[in-house]
Structure 1
Amino acid sequence: MAPKKTGLPREVVRWLQSLDLSFYPKNVPRDFSNGYLVAEILSRYYTQDFLVQSYDRGASLSAKQWNWSQIERSLQKQNLHLMKKLIDGSIHCKPGAAELLVQEVYTLLTTRSIRDVRGPASDFTDRQYQELLPTLARSTASRAIKNNLRITEIMAEPDISTNQRRAEVILHRHLGHKAEDRVLNPGRLKVKPNLCRPAAKDPEPSSRGDECFASSGDTTVKFCSSSTRSGAAVSFKEIKVHQPVRRSLVNY
Structure 2
Amino acid sequence: MAYSQSPKKAGIPREVLKWLQSLDLPFFPKNVRRDFSNGYLVAEIFSWYFPEDFHMHSYDNGTSLATKQSNWSQIEKFLVKQNICLIKEIVDGTIHCKPGAAELLVQEIYCMLTNRRIQTIQKMEEGFTDKAYQDQLPMVARSTASVAIKSNLRLSEVLAEPNIIINQCKVLAIIHRHIEHRKEERTQDPKRFDIKPTLGEQAVRLSPLLAHESKPNLLMNTSQAAC
TM-score class normalised by the smaller sequence: 0.7 to 0.9
Secondary structure of residue in 1 paired with 2:86: coil
Aligned length: 187
Displacement over 4 Å in runs of 4+: none
Q: Which position in structure 2 is the counterpart of 1:152?
A: 156
Contact 2:36 2:42 in 1 (8 A): yes
Q: Which position in structure 2 is the counterpart of 1:245?
A: none
Letter matched to residue 187 of structure 1: K
Are 1:183 and 2:187 counterparts? Answer: yes
Larger radius of gyration between Structure 1 and Structure 2 = 1
Q: Which position in structure 2 is the counterpart of 1:55?
A: 59
Map of 1:97-116 to 2, 5 A cutoff? 97-115=101-119
Map of 1:195-206 to 2, 5 A cutoff? none
Question: How far does residue 185 in structure 1 lie from its aligned partner after superposition?
Answer: 2.0
Letter matched to residue 75 of structure 1: L
Are 1:43 and 2:44 counterparts? Answer: no
Alpha-carbon distance between aligned partners in 2 of 1:114 and 1:24, rounded to the nearest angstrom = 21
Are 1:119 and 2:127 counterparts? Answer: no
Contact 1:6 1:27 in 2 (8 A): no
Contact 1:6 1:26 in 2 (8 A): no
Alpha-carbon distance between aligned partners in 2 of 1:40 and 1:144, rounded to the nearest angstrom = 34
Question: How far does residue 7 in structure 1 lie from its aligned partner after superposition?
Answer: 1.3
Letter matched to residue 145 of structure 1: I
Are 1:133 and 2:137 counterparts? Answer: yes
Alpha-carbon distance between aligned partners in 2 of 1:121 and 1:39, rounded to the nearest angstrom = 22
Contact 2:33 2:97 in 1 (8 A): yes
Alignment RMSD (CA, Å): 1.4
Q: Which position in structure 2 is the counterpart of 1:25?
A: 29
Contact 1:43 1:51 in 2 (8 A): yes
Question: How far does residue 121 in structure 1 lie from its aligned partner after superposition?
Answer: 5.0
Letter matched to residue 76 of structure 1: V
Unaligned runs of 5+ in 2: 1-8, 197-227
